[in-house]
Amino acid sequence: MRTTRRTPRTGRSRRTRRLAVALGLLTATAVAVPGAAAAPNRAVEPEQLAAVSNSVLSAQVNGTAWYVDQANGRVVVTADSTVSPAGLAKIMHAAGPASSTLTIHRVPGVLATLLAGGDAVYGGNYRCSLGFNVASGNTAYFLTAGHCGNLASTWYTDAAHTTQIGPTINSTFPNHDYALIRYDNSALSHPGGFTSAPDAYVGEPVTRTGSTSGTHTGSVTGLNATVRYTDGSIVTGLIQTNVCAEAGDSGGPLYEGTKALGLTSGGNGDCTIGGTTFYQPVNAALTRYGVHLD
């Protein structure tokens, strides 16, 4: 999986229907890197920005995340505390003459996938959280993070593994970050309440619920972000936000009202200092598994 912290299961469990897991989190305080261009470049062609984004990927610097800000003609890069000056120079060099389109933000902490939790589901020696209840026909499932689904074949409501929920049906991580778990225990409730899964938009007010930090709000700051976690795992197509999160919030739901938006995928920081978080769009998981919101 990765060299991130993995918190063993604890005895603290709560009702399955409130579960929400968190893979990883990024800190909120951004510091501009000297030499990184900051002025808008609105005249830059989309093809050039796409090429610069690809160059950041090709630089292969762990602990970074980036997205294209088409409106301002920028490629916005977030670099965590593990990224050295040489790593930043490598990114700038990879962009070549187009490096003037880069805006690089330094943040404290480590951009990583994290396993912990509180209001959680348990698999193996770890706990993760439920994102959204979904269904196909008469069969009920829930979605969570793919890095969680990779860890266990069976899930439970408690750390002692006394109340079984059901098996992992499918899981994808890296590249994407979603997993599908089936409810095999008819005694468990799986309430819905979310009515649609539209695409997020920049500036959208959002809420995130996590098993460790509870419920917090913020807004969408970027779309189609790519994250390269500190272990080298890459996830693409993510929603970037300024909502705080903590270890154990992985897989938890991002939403606006009754609109389901995403599953917590990664970042760093906490809800004292703040953070930047990344989310797997939920509509991609619904399409991949052929399920609908319950």
Report the catalytic residues.
Answer: 147, 177, 250
CA distance 239 to 199: 9
The sign of the CA dihedral 273, 29, 8, 151 is positive
Tell me whether the omega of the peptide bond preceding residue 174 falls within 30 degrees of 0, making it cis.
Answer: yes
Residue 286 Ramachandran class (φ > 0 left, ψ -120 to 50 alpha, else beta): alpha
φ, ψ of residue 89 to 5 degrees: the values are -65, -35
Question: Looking up tokens 């959280």, which residue turns up?
Answer: 129
